[in-house]
Structure formats: C-alpha cells, structure tokens
Structure 1
Amino acid sequence: MKMKKDLFPVGREIAGIVLDVGSKVSFFQPDDEVVGILPLDSEDPGLCEVVRVHEHYLVHKPEKVTWTEAAGSIRDGVRAYTALHYLSHLSPGKSVLIMDGASAFGTIAIQLAHHRGAKVISTACSLEDKQCLERFRPPIARVIDVSNGKVHVAESCL
C-alpha cells in the first residue's frame, strides 16, 4: 500500500544538532545545538528525524536549556519578540499592557519588555496568577486582577 504524503506537515517547532551546512551558511556549523520554527510554507514536518531548514529560522540553543524546554518555548518566544519589536516598536520608557501575563506567552513577553526597559502592566486571570506575577523581578508596575470579569482594563491602566 502506498501512503499519501500528509497535506499539512506535523509540528513546526524544532530542536536538534546541525548535521551539515551548505557553502553559503554563515551562522552555524556542524554539531551546533539549535532550535527554531519551520516556515509556514515548509513541506517538511518538524516531527521527524532530519529536516532541512534555512539558517534564518534557527537560533543557537542556550546550554542550560533542555531540548524539551527549547522546542516548547520557541513559538511563544518568537511571537512575543515579534509583537514587541516589530509590531509595537517597544522602546525604553514606554508602557506595555501584556494580557494574561502568567501564560507561557505572557511570561516571555514580560521578560522581553523588561529587557527593553519598558514599564510593564499585566492582567491576571486568577489569584494564583496574580501572586505569580507579583513575584516577578524586576517587578511588574501593575498587576490587574480580571478574575471576576468586572474590571475595565483600559481604565485600570491609567
């Protein structure tokens, strides 16, 4: 029986060791530990033994980060970086509201915003989330508890 190729590749988050590089590759070399996201138009799935990918879709995996952590956090990390850097052009001294700051995306966005020198305001969907956000260092300028659904977030930011 001949199997049909999947219409949609499974998995886009990837982590692994560089096996080989082309002559025009400048950022990586064989045996580098990398993590990345396959582009939307990739015909290769991320859920496989070997994948070919352009170097611009990869970053070096930090030594202290496990493979699971690297692959699991890259998507939210890229989304947060894109939102803060390319879409909002966040700069030092600016304020940013990060909704659901205790989520995976939220925690990465808060860290990136602090790194850029921004004043961070965030929402918390539960008492547990609020307590988590209040322990952040550097501290979040304001944590808005929206768990009861009766808070006007825009007014709370003023």
Structure 2
Amino acid sequence: MKAIYLEKKTGHKSIILGDIPQPYPREGEALIKVHATGIMPTEFRWFPTFNTPEGKPRRFPIVLSHEFSGTIEALGAGVTGFEVDDPVFGLNDWFTNGAEAEYCVAPATALAQKPKSLDYIHAAVTPISALTAWQGLFERLKLERGQRLLIHGGAGAVGTFAVQLAHWHGAHVIATASSANLDFVHSLGADEVIDYHQTPFENVVRDISAVFDVVGGDTLQRSWNVLKTGGKLVTVATQSEGATDQRTRDAFMLVRADGSQLAEIVKLIDAGELRVFVAGVFPLAEAREAYDRAQEGKLRGKIALRVAE
C-alpha cells in the first residue's frame, strides 16, 4: 500500500512516499481504509513516535499521523458495534504506525461513527484536538458551570474546541488570541478575548477557577498567578512534558483514545454545538508541503492530508 513514512529518526523533510505492507487487524482491532488524516508537526518530538512503551527503539518504517477518518475494511475477532463499510473516525495507538497510508489499524474502542454533518476531511482533523479539549476540561480540570476559565490559544486546533466545549458546558470563558482572531474566538462562544500582543493577561484577569493551556513556556508560568486558591491548571503544550519543574510536569496531559467520548462529541457536532475548522488540505504526495504549512503556525484549525478521493 502507499504510505508516507520515515526510515530514520529525523524530521518531516525526510519523509518518504512509497510502498509498505498493508496491516491486518488483530483481535479487538479494525482495519480502516483511510480517507483523510490530520497532521501533528509535534509528533516528531513525541516519545511514542520512535520508542516502544518499554523505551526500546521502534522498528522502521514508521508511519505518522494518528487521527483519521475512513471506512471499515475488515474487523478483527471480538469486535462488536461496527460493521464493514461503516464510516468512522478515531485514533491509532501512539506506539504503532499511524494513518498517513491507504490503510491503518486501530482498536475498535478508539473509533466512533463519523459525524453525519462532516465530510471525511473535517472528521479527520477532529479526534485529537476534540478529545484533548474534552479530557482536559472535564477530566483534569473538572470544569463546572459558571466557573471562570482561562484558555490560552483560543484560535488554534485544540483551543477552538476548548472554547466551544467550555461555552456549551456553561463556563465563563476568557481566551487569549492574536488581534486578527479576536472576533473569531468571540464567535466560538468566548465571553472575553484578550489580545496577547497588546495586553498581558495577568494584568486583566484574576481569581480564575481553571486554566487550559496549549502554549506553554512563559505563558504557562505566568498563569499560576491568576488562579484563585484551589484553582486548577492543565497544559497540553509539548515542551511541558519534559519540564524540570515538578508542578509543570504534574499539570501536563497527553490525550488518550476514547471512542465513547468521541461518540459524545459526534452528538454535539451533529447538533450544531461544535464547529470544526480545517486550515488546509493537501494530497498524500504533498505531505512535506503540508508539514511546512502546519509548522508556520497561526492557523485556524488543522492541516489535513487527503488519502482517498
């Protein structure tokens, strides 16, 4: 099958378009005919990309992109709730090959039926960002109705979902964004939007119940000071995982696959409560260009690779 893959531990400039063996589903897994996949430039820096859970080097070739949409081609033993040809979306295991290929495998528990209101492109860029927002807000922060929530990076791939989910949940949402995105983030449901180029957020917000951070670095460190007593902070910024500060490491969260949560997100999307934003679409053969665009940053939503027409 055609796939985008790496043959050595390196960056996106070394990715290859070529042929590799098609995977087959094991017990509890589904084989997916991939229609589209969302790309994550930070994946080149993640531990699971090049290592096994035990810390040993993974075998090459390594296929990236672990969120996808497509149709079920075959089912492994013991899978229930899905049938061949079902349109689905979901996540692969981080420690296995991803979805920049004509076919991929995924645990059935990491899948959900594709939202009826979304095409395959928009569905493909949803799982990681939407689940990150869901788990950060509702599992880690335990967000409650009426709480004052500060979201850093409200216009980004994760931030757009975080703002919308928090608004739907009844929180008072304060978000940071660039001047070009102030109106956009307001339209997502933010009650207040701070232009981070013009106003240090700590000068205008205080007594915050919870902070959801996707920026990291100095922004994260300054955020501790705006929390009220007993307030909570979660960060999904990649650099926070290896921080020397124990408080920062404890606040870091890595998303996990969860088909049941995806099914709840599907309900919100099809009900019009959540909008999905695609910043650009590239064919599989132009994966390098897609990563170039994604690494430029300042995107509303995520870059997608179209695998099947």
Q: Same fold (TM over 0.5)?
A: yes
Cα distance in 2, alignment partners of residues 131 and 55 from structure 1? 39
Partner of 2:134: 81
Per-residue deviation, 1:7 = 4.7
8 A Cα contact 2:91 2:106, kept in partner: no
Does residue 11 in structure 1 map to residue 65 in structure 2?
Answer: yes
Partner of 2:202: 154
Cα distance in 1, alignment partners of residues 202 and 146 from structure 2? 19
Describe the SS at the equivalent of 1:52.
strand
Deviations 1:116-144 (A, max 9, x none): 22111101222x211222333xx422111
Partner of 2:82: 28
Per-residue deviation, 1:75 = 1.9
Cα distance in 2, alignment partners of residues 134 and 52 from structure 1? 38
- After superposition, the Cα gap between the structure-2 partners of 1:154 and 1:28, relative to the gap in structure 1 and judged at 3 Å, is farther
Cα distance in 1, alignment partners of residues 68 and 187 from structure 2? 31
- Runs of 4 or more above 6 Å deviation: none
Cα distance in 1, alignment partners of residues 61 and 153 from structure 2? 34
Residue number among 100, 107, 126 corresponding to 1:54 in the alignment: 107
Cα distance in 1, alignment partners of residues 162 and 89 from structure 2? 19
Question: Which stretches in structure 1 are left out of the alignment for 5+ residues?
Answer: none
Relative to the length of structure 1, the TM-score reads 0.82
Q: Number of aligned pairs? A: 149
Residue number among 121, 142, 149 corresponding to 2:192 in the alignment: 142
For 1:83, the aligned partner's letter is G
Cα distance in 2, alignment partners of residues 77 and 22 from structure 1? 27
Partner of 1:114: 167
Partner of 1:129: 181
Describe the SS at the equivalent of 2:125.
helix
Partner of 1:41: 95
Which structure dedicates a bigger proportion of its chain to strand? 2
Describe the SS at the equivalent of 1:140.
coil
Deviations 1:49-69 (A, max 9, x none): 222211121121111211111
Partner of 2:293: none
- Root-mean-square deviation (CA, aligned residues, Å) is 2.0
Cα distance in 2, alignment partners of residues 147 and 53 from structure 1? 41
Relative to the length of structure 2, the TM-score reads 0.45
Higher relative contact order (CA 8 A, sep 6+): 2
For 2:71, the aligned partner's letter is I
Describe the SS at the equivalent of 1:53.
strand
